[in-house]
Each structure stands twice: as C-alpha cells, then as structure tokens.
C-alpha cells in the first residue's frame, strides 16, 4: 500500500503532534491504519529515502552498541554467513550486512540501510531452511518499502522527532536516549497483514528463484505460533497464523 502526504493546516499539524505525544500506545498500532488516520506529525511524511537510511544507520549502530554481537569465529556467525550467501549481498542494490545478537529472545529484523540482525534465540529453535525463510521475509519488508514506513512511524512517535527543526536536519545530533527510543519504536512496529503476506511471498519467490526449498517458511511459522507469547518478541509484530502457513503450502504445491 502506498500512502500520500496529508495536506494538513497549521491547527491540524499541531493537533497531530499533541496526539502523538499523548498517545502512549500509538507505537503498537497498525502503521497503515495510523497513516490513514492522520495521527502523524508532518515531518514523518517528508522523510526521504536518504533520511530513512541515515536514521537507520544511527539506529542500527545504537542497537549494535547495546547488544552482544556474535564474533566471526562463533558457530552463530559462521552459520549465518552460510545462510547469507544463499540470501544475497544486497536488497534492491543496497549492500546488506548481517550480524547475530547473542540473546535468548526470538527475533530478526532488517532496516532500509541493509542492516540485518538475527537473534541467536531464533537460530537455536530453527534449522537453516527456516532461518533463511524468516530472514528472507525480513528482507522482503525492506525491498517492498515497508521498513521505510515503519521508520517514518517510529520517527514520528519517538523522542527523535524533537530534533527535526534543529541544525543538521532530520538526523541532527540525536542523543543516545533519542536513538534508543527510535530504535525501540522501529523494532516493535507492527506491519499490516497485507504487508506480512507480501513479505512472505517475497521470501518464497526469492528462494524459488535461487533454487532453494521455501518449505522452511511453513515450519518457521508453525514454530513461532507454538511459542508462548512471552518468549518471542516476533509474535507482537509477526502474527504467525495457520492461514499464512497454508498459503505457502499452497504455493509450494502449485509450483511443483
């Protein structure tokens, strides 16, 4: 889904900013619904691709600094390196860099600047085909423009938006706390069901194109769905359902 910039008057802009500042649960809302409702400060709509990548650069660096990264010699890094060769080294021409975070959390995400991060907790519970399917799904969100929308939403609903009018433009001199807030909003952002389905299909199509079995998507969904909600941070933003697994199964059957 594409969104257009809202033509807001001065009073409407002020109301949008007040709404964003006062709505504590806004970060957990569906991004498409929020964009349509007009509950966003107008600077979010004006974020260019370069702005989003600059914010992603800073946000990813902040996340890396706060996380335990698997060293190149670790089994996690070596395993992801093998999987990454199957996924490719760019997304729509943007170079990708892969890293593993050592944590029991079950998650994976990607940003518009090519930053792809996989949690060791997810790798512990999934085989290579499943990890490839999930990471391909996350890369699909980047390729299809979903992460740009997510970063725009995160920017509009985080403390980072307060530096918009300061010297240095959108990115400006973001403090550690502002970057932390921005990163948290992005990681916890929810994608719409249509976006999730499109990212599923992207992962499926890319794997078929490269000659790999996409069946790992099905079992990955099943494993995520079986998890207790408190164990997986992916469940809040990646609702795994039988219908999604069935959709991939149907695509596998029809492609034989």
Tell me which residue has tokens 């719409």: 192
Active site residues: 138
**What is the distance between the alpha carbons of residues 207 and 86, in angstroms, rounded to a whole number?**
8
Distance CA 229, CA 232 (A): 6
Query: Helices (DSSP H) in 5-48: which residue ranges?
Result: 10-22, 31-37, 42-45
Report the C-alpha gap between 211 and 47 in whole angstroms. Answer: 37
Asked if residue 164 lies in contact with residue 135, where contact means CB atoms within 8 angstroms, the answer is: no
Task: Pick the closest to residue 129 from 217, 241, 248, 240 (CA basis).
Answer: 217
Nearest CA to 69 out of 25, 118, 1 is that of: 118
Q: From CA 43, how far away is CA 170, in angstroms rounded?
A: 8
């Amino acid at each position: 889904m594409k969104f257009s910039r809202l033509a807001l008057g001065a009073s409407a802009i002020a109301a949008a900013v007040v709404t964003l500042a006062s709505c504590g649960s806004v970060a957990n809302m569906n991004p498409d619904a929020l964009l349509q409702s007009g509950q966003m400060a107008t600077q979010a709509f004006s974020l260019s691709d370069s702005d989003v990548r600059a914010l992603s650069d800073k946000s990813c660096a902040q996340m890396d600094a706060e996380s335990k990264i698997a060293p190149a010699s670790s089994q996690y890094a070596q395993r992801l390196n093998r999987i990454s060769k199957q996924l490719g080294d760019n997304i729509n021409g943007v170079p990708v860099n892969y890293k593993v975070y050592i944590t029991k959390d079950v998650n994976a995400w990607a940003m518009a600047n090519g930053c792809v991060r996989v949690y060791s907790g997810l790798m512990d519970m999934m085989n290579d085909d499943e990890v490839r399917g999930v990471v391909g799904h996350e890369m699909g969100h980047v390729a299809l423009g979903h992460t740009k929308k997510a970063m725009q939403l995160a920017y509009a609903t985080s403390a980072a938006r307060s530096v918009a009018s300061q010297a240095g433009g959108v990115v400006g001199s973001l403090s550690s706390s502002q970057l932390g807030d921005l990163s948290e909003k992005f990681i916890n952002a929810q994608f719409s069901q249509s976006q999730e389905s499109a990212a599923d299909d992207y992962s499926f199509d890319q794997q078929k194109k490269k000659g790999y079995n996409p069946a790992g998507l099905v079992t990955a969904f099943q494993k995520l769905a079986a998890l207790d909600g408190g164990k997986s941070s992916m469940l809040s933003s990646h609702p795994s359902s039988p219908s999604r697994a069935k959709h991939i199964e149907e695509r596998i059957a029809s492609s034989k």
